[in-house]
Amino acid sequence: SAVISQKPSRDICQRGTSLTIQCQVDSQVTMMFWYRQQPGQSLTLIATANQGSEATYESGFVIDKFPISRPNLTFSTLTVSNLSPEDSSIYLCSVDGRVMGRTWTDTQYFGPGTRLTVL
């Protein structure tokens, strides 16, 4: 499986500021995903990030609030803008298991997550 890292692992931010989360994969992957997991809740998909194209956002999530970059096949960033306490969550990146040049697997692998607390 792919090795996925995220930075930072956790952060405490002030209301009105922004946080950029980085996701790095050790293999080239076609699709990367960003999820939010609010306390005690399941995972909600924010957007799908493909290299070389605009991210595709899910209903309820907009680019102005959650801008995403995907500059190459191993890296993506998610920015959470204009933070409010309601943005306090764990943010997870995941990758589609169809890793280029390796055995195709129809799964998603998750990074370790970024725990965001907004004061």
Partner 1 sequence: QKEVEQNSGPLSVPEGAIASLNCTYSDRGSQSFFWYRQYSGKSPELIMFIYSNGDKEDGRFTAQLNKASQYVSLLIRDSQPSDSATYLCAVKAGTASKLTFGTGTRLQVTL
Q: Is 86 helix (H, G, I), strand (E, B) or coil?
A: helix
86 or 106: CB nearest partner 1: 106
Report yes or no: 29 and 105 within 8 Å, Cβ to Cβ: no
Element at 33 (helix H, strand E): strand 31-37
Of residues 18-47, those binding partner 1 (CB under 8 A): 31, 33, 41-45
Residues in contact with partner 1, counted by CB under 8 A, come to a total of 18
Total Cβ atoms within 10 A of residue 76: 26
Contact characters 70-99, partner 1, x per CB under 8 A: ----------------------x---x---
Which listed residue (48, 79, 81, 88) binds partner 1 by CB under 8 A?
48
Structure tokens at 10: 């956790």
Among all chains, which residue has been given the structure tokens 């191993």?
74
User: Does 61 interact with partner 1 (rule: CB under 8 A)?
Assistant: no
| Residue ranges in contact with partner 1 by CB under 8 A | 31, 33, 41-45, 48, 92, 96, 106-113
